[in-house]
Chain A
């Protein structure tokens, strides 16, 4: 049929490509960025998930860190609520789209340290059409005093460019953490000038709180509400410390709420 032929030929027009069959406006994907392992990506995503929970905002948790062992992964803390996704397939991060189409308005995607290439390729091929559905993206980068964590963030930003909004978390891994490479390097300064990221502070956590919580897969909220069977985490001082730590982190997260809510 000529009409069909005509329609097929017009499929290449910009207008056709940009009129998406899905309306996913008011939906947001929040993903961790950075190829450096052990900087606290999962720890921050845990607190972020708790923040959403505390406001009764439904989120879909995706564990995209295929290389992380079970104990340190998002699934370890939110078992039964987390979907593990293998992104090292030709479909890459397409799971974002399907989960947004089917469910909650927000996806929290905890990316693995080795997810860079897959993520960049996916953004290059899919972003334009996914963004046309109305979805917004926020990338969360964690920096520590280790310059490698900063380099990794900058490397990701150079690939993602303005396709995402940026939230940078300064994770104090020591008592008096020195963020010179993040705060004073020319390259990081340039990144801040261009993208104006929202910067949050994640203060140093005592090892006597952090280590057993990680070992047993316990969230701050569970410690605060004393819903844990682990004796060392029921100590009054640790419960109060967890409470104050969570309060301050929630206050930090509020600073970036414009980039975290759909």
Chain B
């Protein structure tokens, strides 16, 4: 980054997190990763942490967090290590896509992107199918039919 811009950024005071959910960010994202619904997460936070939030607030938080992660770092905590290279490649494809805007690319949730990345990896790793037809009976049309009693006569 340009040194002038860095200087500007450094001069800005550290802003407190706007969301009261920020301290629970890791927990919330992990719960999403484990398939908990927004409503369930809100209930767990209420029960275990005494936080009163609606499911839509949790939803907004997760989405905002995902967007900011994608835009600023391009990294994602959700990713499994095996899908990392595909994920990065996919991010590149999406951000350079001609028919989509940058914001549209960024709007894809990490979970969806990870799903695509996993699918691409599975597809690449899948061995090619070789269609080997089961041959139970072989016949050479260029050979004449061999009568079995001719064979017997020859032996005699």
B-side interface residues, number (CB < 8 Å): 25
Which of chain A's residues have a CB closer than 8 A to the CB of B80? none
B89 contacts chain A at the CB level, 8 A cutoff: no
Q: Please determine whether B145 and A6 come into contact, CB atoms closer than 8 angstroms.
A: no
Interface SS of A by simple majority: helix
A238: min CB distance to chain B, Å: 37
Contacts of B120 in A (CB 8 A): 9
Q: Are B148 and A184 in contact (CB under 8 A)?
A: yes
Query: By the criterion CB–CB under 8 Å, are B137 and A185 in contact?
Result: no
Contact A190/B137 with A6-B116, A150-B145, A185-B145 known, Cβ cut-off 8 Å = yes
Question: Closest CB-CB distance, B66 to chain A, in whole Å?
Answer: 14
Are A184 and B149 also in contact (CB < 8 A) when A12-B123, A151-B141 are? yes
Interface string of B122-156 (1 = CB under 8 A from A): 01001000000111111101011111110100000
Report whether B137 and A184 are in contact in the complex, using a CB–CB cutoff of 8 Å.
no
A residues near B149, Cβ cutoff 8 Å:
184
Q: Is B9 an interface residue (CB 8 A)?
A: no
Judge whether A154 and B139 touch: CB under 8 Å: yes
Q: What total of chain A residues lie within 8 Å of the partner, measured CB to CB?
A: 29
Q: Tell me which of B34-42, B46-54, B107-115 binds A.
A: B107-115
Inter-subunit contact B137/A158 (CB<8 Å): yes
Whether the Cβ atoms of B116 and A184 lie closer than 8 Å is no
Q: Which residues of B contact A25 (CB under 8 A)?
A: none
A161 to B135, CA, bound (A): 7
Determine which of B115, B144, B146, B148 lies in contact with A2 in the assembled complex, contact meaning CB atoms within 8 Å. Answer: B115
The chain A residue sitting closest to B135, CB to CB, is A161
Q: How many whole Å from B137's CB to the nearest CB in chain A?
A: 5
The residue from B112, B115, B116, B145 contacting A188, defined by CB atoms under 8 A apart: B145
Which of these, A2, A161, A180, A194, contacts B133 with CB under 8 Å?
A161
Contacts of B95 in A (CB 8 A): none
A194–B146 CB distance below 8 A: no
How long is the Cα–Cα vector from A161 to B134 in the complex, in angstroms? 8
> Given contacts A184-B149, A188-B145, are A162 and B113 in contact (CB under 8 A)?
no
Taking a contact as CB atoms closer than 8 A, the residue among B119, B138, B146 that contacts A185 in the complex is: B146
In the assembled complex, the Cα of A185 lies from the Cα of B146 at a distance in Å of: 5
Name the interface residues of A1-35: CB closer than 8 Å to any CB of B.
2-3, 5-6, 9-10, 12
Contact A6 B115 (CB under 8 A): yes
Chain B residues in 8 Å Cβ range of A180? 147
Most buried by A among B108, B126, B148: B148
A187 in contact with B139 given A2-B108, A6-B119, A12-B123 (CB within 8 Å): yes
Is A157 an interface residue when CB atoms closer than 8 A count as contact?
yes
Q: Contacts A2-B115, A185-B147 given: A195-B137 contact, CB under 8 Å?
A: yes
A-B contact pairs, 14 of them (CB 8 A): A5-B116, A147-B145, A155-B141, A158-B137, A161-B133, A185-B147, A185-B148, A186-B146, A186-B151, A187-B145, A187-B146, A188-B145, A195-B136, A195-B137
**Interface of A with B (CB < 8 Å)?**
2-3, 5-6, 9-10, 12, 124, 147, 150-151, 154-155, 157-158, 161-162, 180-181, 184-191, 194-195
With A2-B108, A6-B119, A161-B135 given, can you name 6 additional A-B contacts, CB distance below 8 Å? A9-B119, A12-B123, A147-B144, A185-B146, A186-B146, A187-B139
